[in-house]
Amino acid sequence: MKTVKLFRGSTMVFLVFVVLLYTGCNKRYVYEVQTQEIYQTASQKQTLKTTTQFVSIAYSDLYNTSITNDQLNKLDIAYQSLGDKKIIEDMIIKNFLQQANSLIPSNTVMRSDIPAFVQNAYLRFYNRKPNEFEAWKVKDMIEKNVDITPKMIYYSLMTSDEYRYY
């Protein structure tokens, strides 16, 4: 009888020891997130946006909010009804830019820091930083022509071929 109890007791001690050993030897993994730039170059954009993607992305880029389903359906019907897609895209973008609640910086804000304006515009509409030539060219164009407004820059970026792709 004593040997059975001794065997059970030593078995319990052994099991506790194994459990402690097992839990103490487990590796702990630490996952870290490193910041990484994910901006694409224009040449990497291969997928054409659908009509609803184009309209909803353009809306959210200018208003920083989602378009309603009713508005999206109306614009999609107009988009589908015309044969020349570039014309309706042009009309949609012009309409969005003319609205008072669109988030377009003032001319004063644009001219106070032109390099930052250009960088932010490229990030906003193309999801990438401008290359050196693009940054220089747009900055130079704004500096040399006082008639250029932020709406004009936004219009040119949003009606470009690159904006149609992601």
HEC sequence for 76-112: HHHHHHCCCHHHHHHHHHHHHHHCCCCCCCCHHHHHH
Report how far residue 158's alpha carbon sits from residue 61's, in angstroms, rounded to the nearest whole number: 10
Predicted TM-score (pTM) of this structure: 0.70
Over its length of 166 residues, how does the chain's per-residue pLDDT go in tens digits? Answer: 554 454 555 666 666 666 665 665 555 555 566 565 555 565 666 777 788 888 888 889 899 888 888 888 888 888 788 777 788 888 888 988 998 888 899 999 999 999 999 999 999 998 889 999 999 999 999 999 999 999 999 999 999 988 888 7
Is residue 7 situated within a structural domain?
A: no
| Domain containing residue 138: CATH number | 1.10.3130
Is residue 159 situated within a structural domain?
A: yes
pLDDT score for 6: 47
Is residue 37 situated within a structural domain?
A: no
Domains identified in the chain, total number: 1
Start-to-end Cα distance in the chain:
78
Is residue 28 situated within a structural domain?
A: no
Is residue 148 situated within a structural domain?
A: yes
pLDDT score for 130: 92
pLDDT score for 152: 94
